[in-house]
Structure 1
Amino acid sequence: MTTPYDIPEILDRREGPYGEVALRRHGHLLQIIANGCFLMDTSDGRSERLLIDAALAALDAADTRAKHGPRPGPHVLIGGLGVGFSLAHAATQPRWGRITVVEREPAVIDWHRAGPLPPFAEVSAPALADPRTAIVETDLVAYVKETSDTFDALCLDIDNGPDWTVTEGNEGLYSPTGLLACARVLNPGGVLAVWSAKPSPDFEETLRNAGFQQVRTEEVPVARGVPDVVHLGVRPG
């Protein structure tokens, strides 16, 4: 028998600068939908946490290879606020000195700050209150080309992966030109970590051709289908 919770319920729908974005409840889950495309939900968060952990581990490994200890207070940029898993996890780690989150959709920021729509508030409220955290409302693709700030790690999760972008304009981020822009804002030995819903051997090759070193892919097994992955590359020191 069908219950009301078997039917997705739209909690908020807005026209943003890049099209329609919606917050949907399906059973006990909250889901973010952009232009009809499912982006993420509150079901797990393992792969979002791996994005942060893998970047920090790769950063420390790169510093060890450079024959100096882990850098103090590294600055991480998180591309995409989403449901808040990546930010919340980064904020639990005292190693990060600064945490900058770039989110282009005002609605997503509002859902976290003014909802209150659990579990959004439960996940992100402590992290948003952390003095290390700064939220920048802008387009990530433009931001990495224009900002004068620099980072020790870029943790990017704004699409379903390099081969499955939410909007056409995001494709440039994963191109040689976009990766050069990412390298520009990375400090020497800094790490680029890119979440993807499936492995992309072509993107690995593009990373290498753009000059990134120690390129590898970490997998997050899922119940069905291909695993989520995090693509990693290090800017030369």
Structure 2
Amino acid sequence: MLPRETLATAQIPGGDTLTLVSHGRDHIIMLGRDELMGTRMQFSEEQLAQLTLEQIDAPAPRVLIGGYGMGFTYRAALAAIPADGRVVVAEVVPEILAWARGPLAHLTGTTLEDPRGEVVLCDVAALIDDANDGTSPKFDAILLDVDNGPDGIVRDGNERLYTRTGIARSRDALKPGGILAVWSAAPDPKFRTRLKDAGFEIEERRVRARPNNKGPHHTIWFARAS
């Protein structure tokens, strides 16, 4: 069996420690003994962007992504948006971007230099608040891949995004007809109810972690604002 090699660690603001490890040709980001994400199971994170943007008709969509991680959702969004589109990513751990330019540069390629995209070191809630307060334009889509979904394990404070208040703030940061898309490691009927109560039209999909229809199932909610 191939050993795992620790490449780097990073402290999560208000949370625990992330560890980047290699396992043969694969890379994994760990939280303690838990695998948060890895290069062998990236399909559902890519589908978060691809399936959302398939539903957006805007000629120059403005997209917000909560969480960079290994960049799976960000790269998929850049691949799907037109030349005049814009993708903004909020990431709270600075070392994540250092890893993207270092040990994970083979994944990143030139996407961090793409003029259609920007990675901002901040909590995604701050950018949602800016759109609500009129200090920045509203979004055609908000993609949340923050923590483990509504049942978070990574960082204290992430759960506020998934409360009734947090959902309402995301709804109000969207343009009419915009989509809030939320990735989760598991189903969450109570969260689905909160989305419905916020006035969203909801589609829930179960997506495999790997494109060959293998690996665990993950849940993505697509909630369209009226």
Amino acid paired to 1:231? W
1:15 pairs with 2:2: no
The percent of aligned pairs where both chains have the same amino acid is 36
1:29 aligns with one of 18, 26, 30? 26
**Per-residue deviation at 1:11?**
0.5
SS of the residue corresponding to residue 168 of structure 1 reads coil
How many Å separate the matches in 1 of 2:11 and 2:151?
Answer: 25
Higher Cα Rg, which structure: 1
The answer on whether the counterparts of 1:88 and 1:126 sit within 8 Å (CA) in structure 2 is no
How many Å separate the matches in 1 of 2:139 and 2:172?
Answer: 10
1:231 pairs with 2:215: no
Alignment-derived partner of residue 92 in structure 1 = 79
1:152 aligns with one of 140, 143, 152? 140
Amino acid paired to 2:114? D
**Per-residue deviation at 1:145?**
2.6
Unaligned 5+ segments in structure 2 are none
1:126 pairs with 2:110: yes
Call closer, same or farther: CA 1:224–1:43 in 2, change over 3 Å: closer
How many Å separate the matches in 1 of 2:183 and 2:39?
Answer: 16
How many Å separate the matches in 2 of 1:161 and 1:94?
Answer: 24
**Per-residue deviation at 1:153?**
0.4
Once superposed, what is the RMSD of the aligned Cα atoms?
1.9
Alignment of 1:50-199 (within 5 A): 50-59=47-56, 70-95=57-82, 97-113=85-101, 115=102, 117=103, 120-147=104-131, 148-149=135-136, 150-199=138-187
Q: Which runs of 4+ in 1 moved over 4 A?
A: none
**Per-residue deviation at 1:58?**
2.9
Relative to its length, the structure with more helix (as a share) is 1
**Deviations along 1:39-68, whole A, 9 cap, x unmatched?**
111113210111012211233xxxxxxxxx
Unaligned 5+ segments in structure 1 are 60-69
Amino acid paired to 2:67? G
1:205 pairs with 2:202: no
**Per-residue deviation at 1:191?**
0.3
What is the number of residues matched between the two proteins? 216
Amino acid paired to 2:28? Q
How many Å separate the matches in 2 of 1:143 and 1:97?
Answer: 17
How many Å separate the matches in 2 of 1:165 and 1:15?
Answer: 14
- Calculate the TM-score normalised by the size of structure 2: 0.87
Amino acid paired to 1:164? G
**Deviations along 1:126-166, whole A, 9 cap, x unmatched?**
22121001110011233323453221001111122212342
**Per-residue deviation at 1:184?**
2.1
The answer on whether the counterparts of 1:87 and 1:124 sit within 8 Å (CA) in structure 2 is no
The answer on whether the counterparts of 2:181 and 2:221 sit within 8 Å (CA) in structure 1 is yes
**Per-residue deviation at 1:86?**
1.1
The answer on whether the counterparts of 1:192 and 1:232 sit within 8 Å (CA) in structure 2 is yes
- Calculate the TM-score normalised by the size of structure 1: 0.84
